[in-house]
Chains A and B, each alone.
Chain A
């Protein structure tokens, strides 16, 4: 119900220099006036979009709580399109909880999770893509992600989708007109329809493809360190993280379970996974570790495949490289501080197209070069004008659009009647609707707004 006024603490829990309480709704101003006393000479109501200095006080005469700034955003020019008041006080949980208590006593209701954004959506301030972008922006772990999210919050993706939608609607309108008005001579040429279809499909395909980069940005790249036992995987893990995270011993088979840590290289997030080496297991626990490691390696976005430069190449190395030949990988030649026994030509042959970096994890030699190599191989292409899809759900919708358009092309080529390929174009439009939120009751909405409470 949008009749009531909601209140919540907007800054993260804990102690901080500042803490903000936000109030939204028809009575936002009235509530604020009850709990806030200005120390400036101003005429009420409060000036719009200009902070006013004053005190938070108990309207029933209790002592003042804290000094604060009040900023008033007049509807509809506010985040929720309702009257919004922000009270910026000191960031002590006690102070902020106190403000909440006063606010609810003055007639506001505690907001549910994500309710400010929900209101922005229901009041038409944000569409679904933008609402998603708000969530992304808040949760962004890298500047790149923040930048993209912020642009999408500004509506870049929404506009792109609207243009796509408009073109699809235009095409469908042409097809439908021919069907609905058979006596008006409006039939479109199949060739023109096909041309429009393939142009649209190609554009959607590019968007779908951008998800690979998008996912790297929003979720990070999972990078598994693999290789035979005792080639120095854990030493490298620690060297890349610059901390003694994994236990390292001179004995093969030390690492049995896997370790997972976040590694940020130039604003790109990697999830670095260290795990048991491949080879004959000495212990059942180690065997389990090996099996698990293989699965992780299979599912990872990329691999660091470690070879030991101080030993001759082994058939096991060859098997390993062959098995993962189709995966993005950097081949790391470790232990270059020891006398070299591996043959350079063999390494080249084994590595194939993968870059080879020579390092010593123990001595810390050439680790920066390895970082650079990882960055350039796995990091998404530099941001360009092209929109980047950050979410699997959005990718799935666009994938659906693409499939429909391709199918429509095939039907047209197979000389099926207009109402049949129109079905596919109509389905494509429904997929776009699912993305931008122009569909009726559905789970997608629930999914997005349900998410706002999870994990925070």
Chain B
């Protein structure tokens, strides 16, 4: 029982979203309480033992630049590190790490326990206390009431969670953990637009029962790249992952047993992610393929559990064992935990403001899988933003929003709140219009200033950032001022020469002539900024143009009834709030992107007509198509 029962911010759920939310709010100086079902499963990695990858690794860097925790912890507890797409350009490179699950959990728990302003409390939240249209606190199953000025809900897959293994199913939030039924029921009653989603996880095997000779080892990088700007320790690869394949025999077993799949038997109604299909999905959807790859990944140093990445399934346990038996090397493997599918409730994110506050209930914020996403990194990013915005709201300060062109976090939230989801949402780099701007190497340049302003970035990290920028600027100005003779005999600036795809920074920077050697991270930034220069300028111009659209003035005398294409709801909201610009209109609840489009169109026509012929004739009564 926490000593006081009144807080500034209460965070419900201590997964990846909840931890970031609580840590951010506490670091911003608000008294914060993090309520979780079980204190031992704080920051549990419920599925794969890895963090990062394309777009996800980008998110972790952004979280880190803003002052979040995930990056530091992944570095601290990582046991194998890889930078993906090394042969490609800087914009599509991203770090990925295998983490020791138990170590990660403990490290996060320790961090949170040590944090000033933060209370961690074990309890099952049954209800959000709502009065006057605002969240005022939470009530646990045992009747304890905790009051707060803002509530952040991060229940993950626990809302009405149902686990499926074959045709058997039982309510659970995660294997052997209770699901939250009361809370789910209340959210439904509050009219939050509940949707049903599905995900799954593969079986875990006993390391000692696998014939490792049959699989090809996948080593980590020789020079690991950390997630966090603050990581100083040299990262070490302590384990290997292994690559293996299914075979026609495996597929035959799966096909034969499809009638026992809850998915194909129609028992699961929730929608699963297309990009993370179960093994039975892969076999059904790609019948021409004779094999599918999977990775064997250690779950940690202190355990023999091996995660079979690529084998998620909701087939019966017996069939899972039969599947393994067809794969040489796994034929004697002991299953420590069966694979399962899980269905859970989420809230349609179109009911959220860009601050992640619900449109219906004030001061109630949602983050993580409840917003329709999947992935630890997406959850952490949303948690961080929800925590920051809850804290800002309590402090009565302006909300913190990121644009699509300045962060993947901006893309993520904008996609969610303006388009919504049809399947668990995962971030991809191709979702970003300004992909070449949103790189891991410049996340600090893009975001650390914001983190600093919010009070989340400590002095030492900020000082190092400023040093880094100074060094980068020095190198760039040297490259622009000095020329080099190319093999073709031309003399061009070193900056120009570096634009060639096959030229690296080391080819144009002469030691001795230049006073210092840029770090790997600095090199990455300089190379990207050079090679993408034309595109970067172009995207910056486009951003400036879009911002002009947002700054389009909505005249004070505009009669919104004249605007063709507005729904009654949008019209009433606009009439009531009278936004001064199109950008402000975009942020109003109940004003959909379609409504903003109609309004923008109307303003543009109005402006053109004014240019053409003075005042606008309001009505013509002529149908001239």
B619 adjacent to chain A (CB < 8 Å): yes
**Bound CA–CA A147/B562 (angstroms):** 35
Considering the complex, give the chain B residue whose CB is closest to the CB of A109. Answer: B619
Which of B89, B502, B593, B605 has the most chain A CB within a 10 Å cutoff?
Answer: B605
How many residues on chain B are close to A (CB under 8 Å)?
53
B91 adjacent to chain A (CB < 8 Å): yes
- Residues of chain A contacted by B293 (CB below 8 angstroms): 184-185
Please state if A449 and B601 are interface contacts (CB–CB under 8 Å). yes
> What mask results when residues 48 to 80 of chain B are scored 1 for a CB within 8 Å of chain A, else 0?
000000110000000000000000000000000
A381 adjacent to chain B (CB < 8 Å): no
Which of B430, B535, B623 has the most chain A CB within a 10 Å cutoff?
Answer: B623
Measured CB to CB, the closest approach of chain A to B552, in angstroms, equals 8
Considering the complex, give the chain A residue whose CB is closest to the CB of B85. Answer: A182
Please state if B561 and A1 are interface contacts (CB–CB under 8 Å). yes
B597 adjacent to chain A (CB < 8 Å): yes
Considering the complex, give the chain A residue whose CB is closest to the CB of B561. Answer: A1
**Bound CA–CA A119/B566 (angstroms):** 11
Please state if B625 and A122 are interface contacts (CB–CB under 8 Å). no
**Bound CA–CA A349/B435 (angstroms):** 60
Please state if A453 and B609 are interface contacts (CB–CB under 8 Å). yes
The residue that B612 contacts in the complex, of A3, A109, A454, with Cβ under 8 A, is A454
**Bound CA–CA A113/B606 (angstroms):** 12
B622 adjacent to chain A (CB < 8 Å): yes
B92 adjacent to chain A (CB < 8 Å): yes
**Bound CA–CA A417/B93 (angstroms):** 11
> What mask results when residues 416 to 456 of chain A are scored 1 for a CB within 8 Å of chain B, else 0?
11111011001000000000000011110111011011101
**Bound CA–CA A182/B560 (angstroms):** 50
Please state if B564 and A115 are interface contacts (CB–CB under 8 Å). yes
Considering the complex, give the chain A residue whose CB is closest to the CB of B532. Answer: A420
Please state if B54 and A182 are interface contacts (CB–CB under 8 Å). yes
**Bound CA–CA A112/B433 (angstroms):** 36
B235 adjacent to chain A (CB < 8 Å): no
B581 adjacent to chain A (CB < 8 Å): no
- Residues of chain B contacted by A138 (CB below 8 angstroms): 624-625
- Residues of chain B contacted by A179 (CB below 8 angstroms): 54, 85, 88, 92, 429-430
> What mask results when residues 173 to 185 of chain A are scored 1 for a CB within 8 Å of chain B, else 0?
0001001111111
**Bound CA–CA A441/B571 (angstroms):** 18
B436 adjacent to chain A (CB < 8 Å): yes
Measured CB to CB, the closest approach of chain B to A426, in angstroms, equals 8
Considering the complex, give the chain B residue whose CB is closest to the CB of A173. Answer: B430
- Residues of chain A contacted by B582 (CB below 8 angstroms): 441
- Contact A110 B435, CB 8 Å, known A179-B92, A184-B293, A417-B88: no
- Residues of chain A contacted by B593 (CB below 8 angstroms): 440
> What mask results when residues 117 to 135 of chain A are scored 1 for a CB within 8 Å of chain B, else 0?
1110010000000000011
Please state if A419 and B435 are interface contacts (CB–CB under 8 Å). yes
- Residues of chain B contacted by A417 (CB below 8 angstroms): 87-89, 92, 501
- Residues of chain A contacted by B619 (CB below 8 angstroms): 109-112
Measured CB to CB, the closest approach of chain A to B97, in angstroms, equals 14
Please state if A8 and B608 are interface contacts (CB–CB under 8 Å). no
**Bound CA–CA A138/B502 (angstroms):** 56
- Contact A420 B89, CB 8 Å, known A183-B84, A440-B597: yes
B600 adjacent to chain A (CB < 8 Å): yes
- Residues of chain B contacted by A392 (CB below 8 angstroms): none
Please state if A110 and B621 are interface contacts (CB–CB under 8 Å). yes
**Bound CA–CA A422/B532 (angstroms):** 13
- Residues of chain A contacted by B612 (CB below 8 angstroms): 454
B518 adjacent to chain A (CB < 8 Å): no
A18 adjacent to chain B (CB < 8 Å): no
B428 adjacent to chain A (CB < 8 Å): yes
Please state if B600 and A441 are interface contacts (CB–CB under 8 Å). yes
Please state if B535 and A420 are interface contacts (CB–CB under 8 Å). yes
- Residues of chain B contacted by A22 (CB below 8 angstroms): 623
Which of A110, A117, A423, A445 has the most chain B CB within a 10 Å cutoff?
Answer: A423
- Residues of chain B contacted by A180 (CB below 8 angstroms): 54-55, 428-430
How many residues on chain A are close to B (CB under 8 Å)?
56
Which of B92, B429, B502, B612 has the most chain A CB within a 10 Å cutoff?
Answer: B92
Please state if A415 and B623 are interface contacts (CB–CB under 8 Å). no
B604 adjacent to chain A (CB < 8 Å): yes
- Residues of chain B contacted by A440 (CB below 8 angstroms): 593, 596-597, 600
- Residues of chain B contacted by A134 (CB below 8 angstroms): 625
Within 8 A of B (CB), among A113-169: 113-119, 122, 134-135, 138
Measured CB to CB, the closest approach of chain B to A241, in angstroms, equals 30
Please state if A419 and B91 are interface contacts (CB–CB under 8 Å). yes
Which of A109, A110, A116, A453 has the most chain B CB within a 10 Å cutoff?
Answer: A453
Please state if A113 and B624 are interface contacts (CB–CB under 8 Å). yes
The residue that A122 contacts in the complex, of B560, B565, B605, with Cβ under 8 A, is B565
A10 adjacent to chain B (CB < 8 Å): yes
- Residues of chain B contacted by A443 (CB below 8 angstroms): 604
**Bound CA–CA A1/B535 (angstroms):** 39
Considering the complex, give the chain A residue whose CB is closest to the CB of B535. Answer: A423
- Contact A450 B609, CB 8 Å, known A183-B84, A418-B92: yes
- Contact A450 B608, CB 8 Å, known A135-B625, A181-B54, A441-B601: yes
A269 adjacent to chain B (CB < 8 Å): no
B549 adjacent to chain A (CB < 8 Å): yes
Please state if A446 and B605 are interface contacts (CB–CB under 8 Å). yes
Considering the complex, give the chain B residue whose CB is closest to the CB of A414. Answer: B501
The residue that B621 contacts in the complex, of A111, A135, A416, A446, with Cβ under 8 A, is A111
Please state if B89 and A419 are interface contacts (CB–CB under 8 Å). yes
Considering the complex, give the chain B residue whose CB is closest to the CB of A445. Answer: B601
Please state if A10 and B54 are interface contacts (CB–CB under 8 Å). no
B620 adjacent to chain A (CB < 8 Å): yes
Which of A116, A419, A440, A447 has the most chain B CB within a 10 Å cutoff?
Answer: A419
- Contact A182 B621, CB 8 Å, known A440-B593, A441-B597, A446-B608: no
Measured CB to CB, the closest approach of chain A to B414, in angstroms, equals 12
Please state if B561 and A449 are interface contacts (CB–CB under 8 Å). no
Considering the complex, give the chain A residue whose CB is closest to the CB of B96. Answer: A183
Considering the complex, give the chain B residue whose CB is closest to the CB of A23. Answer: B623
Measured CB to CB, the closest approach of chain B to A422, in angstroms, equals 8
Please state if B564 and A122 are interface contacts (CB–CB under 8 Å). yes
**Bound CA–CA A447/B564 (angstroms):** 15
Measured CB to CB, the closest approach of chain A to B611, in angstroms, equals 10
Please state if A8 and B623 are interface contacts (CB–CB under 8 Å). yes
- Residues of chain A contacted by B618 (CB below 8 angstroms): 112
Please state if B624 and A452 are interface contacts (CB–CB under 8 Å). yes
A7 adjacent to chain B (CB < 8 Å): yes
**Bound CA–CA A122/B428 (angstroms):** 30
B563 adjacent to chain A (CB < 8 Å): yes
A369 adjacent to chain B (CB < 8 Å): no
> What mask results when residues 80 to 108 of chain B are scored 1 for a CB within 8 Å of chain A, else 0?
00001101110110000000000000000
Considering the complex, give the chain B residue whose CB is closest to the CB of A114. Answer: B625
Within 8 A of A (CB), among B555-603: 560-568, 571, 582, 593, 596-598, 600-601
**Bound CA–CA A181/B561 (angstroms):** 48
**Bound CA–CA A440/B624 (angstroms):** 25
- Residues of chain A contacted by B532 (CB below 8 angstroms): 420
Please state if B624 and A456 are interface contacts (CB–CB under 8 Å). yes
**Bound CA–CA A44/B619 (angstroms):** 31
- Residues of chain B contacted by A423 (CB below 8 angstroms): 435-436, 535
- Residues of chain A contacted by B55 (CB below 8 angstroms): 180
Q: Name 5 A/B residue pairs within 8 A (Cβ), A-sorted.
A: A9-B621, A9-B623, A179-B430, A446-B608, A450-B608
Q: Which 8 A-B pairs have the closest CB atoms?
A: A441-B600, A8-B623, A446-B604, A110-B621, A417-B89, A110-B619, A10-B623, A456-B624
User: Which residues does B use to contact A, with CB under 8 Å?
Assistant: 54-55, 84-85, 87-89, 91-92, 293, 295, 428-430, 433, 435-436, 501-502, 531-532, 535, 549, 560-568, 571, 582, 593, 596-598, 600-601, 604-605, 608-609, 612, 618-625
Given contacts A119-B564, A182-B85, A447-B608, 19 further A-B contacts (CB under 8 A): A2-B564, A8-B621, A10-B623, A114-B624, A115-B623, A176-B428, A176-B430, A179-B429, A182-B84, A183-B295, A417-B89, A417-B501, A418-B92, A419-B436, A420-B89, A423-B535, A440-B596, A450-B609, A452-B625
